[in-house]
Structure 1
Amino acid sequence: MRRIIALFVGLLMLGGMMRMVSAHSVTVDGDPADWLADTGTQAINTWQLYSSVGEWVWKDNESDERTDWSTPDPRVDITEFRVTADEQYIYFLIKFNNLDVVGQDGAPGIMITIDTDQSIGSGGTYFGYLSETQVAQNGNANWEYQLLIDLSSSSVQNNQPVYGDGTPVWDSGSPLDLVDTSWDDVSTSSDEFVASTTYNAVEVKILKSELGNPSTIRVELAVVRVNPSGDAWDIIGVSDVLDAMTDVSGNTWNEVKDGYVDYYADINISQVPFFSNNVAMAALTFLLVLGAVWFFRRQ
C-alpha cells in the first residue's frame, strides 16, 4: 500500500511539473488567449521573464508612437511584445493599441531583427522596408536574420493564416519574410502568421532550425507603415520607424531621430521552454511501468 501511495504522489507531482514547466506551444490564430503571462503589474518600457509560463514579455508605453501620418496613430502603437518557444518553433506575439486594418496600403510593417551570435559588428545593420533606420550604433545588435511581416499585402486577410514561401514580398512573394544578411528570404511553409483586427494582435511562428537553433537571440523591434510593394511610407530625410521597443522616454522620435534604434534585449531560448515534453513523458512512462511492475508482483 505504501508503494502505491508513493507512486500516486509521484504521478501527481510529475503532472504538476508538466503543467508548470512543459514547453509552451501556441496556436497561431491571432487570438492571444493562449499567452498566459499576467502583465498587470509589469512596469512600462521593461521586459520580464515569466518563468512559470515560459514567456518573455516586453511591455511598451502606450501612445508613444510618432504621429507623422495620423494624430494619434494607434494602428502602429505597440503595447506588448512576447516571445515563447517549444522544441521546434519560436513564437512571437505583437499587440497593438488599435490594429484597425490589414491587407491595405498603410497597414503596419513589423520588423524583428534577430542576432544569433551576439558578436559585436557581425551581421546586418539596417531594418527592412527601406525604412532608413539601423540597429544599435555600437554594433552590439547586428543581426543574422530579420523577420518581416508586411500587413499591407492584399494576401493578408483578417484572422487568416499566411505562410512563408522563400520569396521576399518585394519580389511578389509572401508577406512573411525571414531574411538573412544577403536579404534572401529563408522562410518556409512551416512559418506562419495571423493578423487579427479583432484582437489587435499578430501571432507568428518560425522554425528554430532556420535560425541555426540558437540558445540565445538578441532582438530589436520596430514598426512602420508599408505599401503593398514592400516599402515603408517615406518620411523624407529621416527614419520611417513610427514605434519601437525602447526604454527612451516620451515619443518614439526621441529614439529614432538619429536614424538608430539603440535598445535591444537578449532572450535565452533555452530558458523559455524550460523542460522538454519528451523528457516529461519519458519520466511519466517510467513511473507508470514501475507502478505496473509493483502491482503485478504483489498479485
Structure 2
Amino acid sequence: MPQAAMTDRIATGQGFIAALDQSGGSTPKALRLYGIEDSAYGSEAEMFDLIHAMRTRIATSPVFTGDKVIGAILFEQTMDRDFAGKPAATYLWEDKGVVPFLKIDKGLEEAASGVQMMKPIPGLDALLDRAVAKGIFGTKERSVILAANAGGIADIVAQQVDLGFQVLAKGLVPILEPEVDIKAPDKAEAEEILLAELLKGVDAIPEGQQVMLKLTIPTKAGLYAPLIAHPRVMRVVALSGGYDRAEACKRLAANPGMIASFSRALTEGLSAGQSDADFNTTLGATIDAIRAASIA
C-alpha cells in the first residue's frame, strides 16, 4: 500500500495541489477560458469529454510531476476515466508521483445565515468505497461563507467536520473547504470567526488522525498559523478564489506554511489551440510560479 508514501508526500512535499475538479456547474466557464465555446458541444456528455481532454493534457504533460505538484483533486467522472491508458488515480501516483484526491460534494444549498451549506451527498458510503478501491488518498468538500455571521459559520464548520469524520472512517484524508468569498464585505472578520470555529473542530479529531483544510487566502497574513501548526491538521492549502494567478501567488507567499490548491489560477493562459510545446511552456511557468509561492 502506498498510503505511507502518499502521506509523506502530502505532509512534507515542497509543492502544491492541483485542483482538476471542475464539476457540471463550473465546467462551461473552464472550457471557455480554455478557448472552447459552448457551441462546440451539444450535450453534457460531450462537454465532459472536452474537459477530460483538457485534464488529460495537463496531467500527462512532462512538466506536471510530483516534485512540484504533490497532489491533484479529481472530479468523480475523472476518477472513473483513464489518463494515458491507466485509471486516472493510478496514473497520477504510479507515473507522476502525484497523490490523488476526490471531490465529493454535490454543490451548494441556497444562501442562508450568510453561508451556503453543502447539499446532501446521496450514496456517499458507496462513493468513498469506490474511491478507496481506485487508490484515492483523500477527499475534498466545499461550502462557502458569504458574510461574518457567527451562527452560519459555526454551522458550516460543524457540517464540514461531521463529513470529515465519515471520510476518516473509510481510511481517507478529508480536505475540509469552508471557502470565504473574496468579495465578502467583512471578509477579515469572517476569517477570524472561521479560525476560532476550525480550531474547535480540529480539536475534536481523534488522536492519530488528521484532516486537511482548504481555505481562502486570509486578509490578515499569517492568520491561519495556529491551524498550520495543529497536530490534527496534515496540511493547510489555499484556494485562489477568483484572484488571478499573480495576485493569488503574491497573497499566498505572505502566508508561510500554506500551500496552493489552485484551479482557475492553474489553467490561466492555457488554450486548446496551443501547440504542445507552447502548452507545456505555459503550464511549466505556471507550475513554477505557484510552487515558488507555496514554499516561500
TM range (shorter): under 0.3
Q: Give the alignment's TM-score, normalised by structure 1.
A: 0.26
Larger strand percent: 1
Which structure is higher in RCO with an 8 Å CA cutoff and minimum separation 6?
1
Larger helix percent: 2
Determine which structure has more spread, i.e. the larger CA radius of gyration.
1
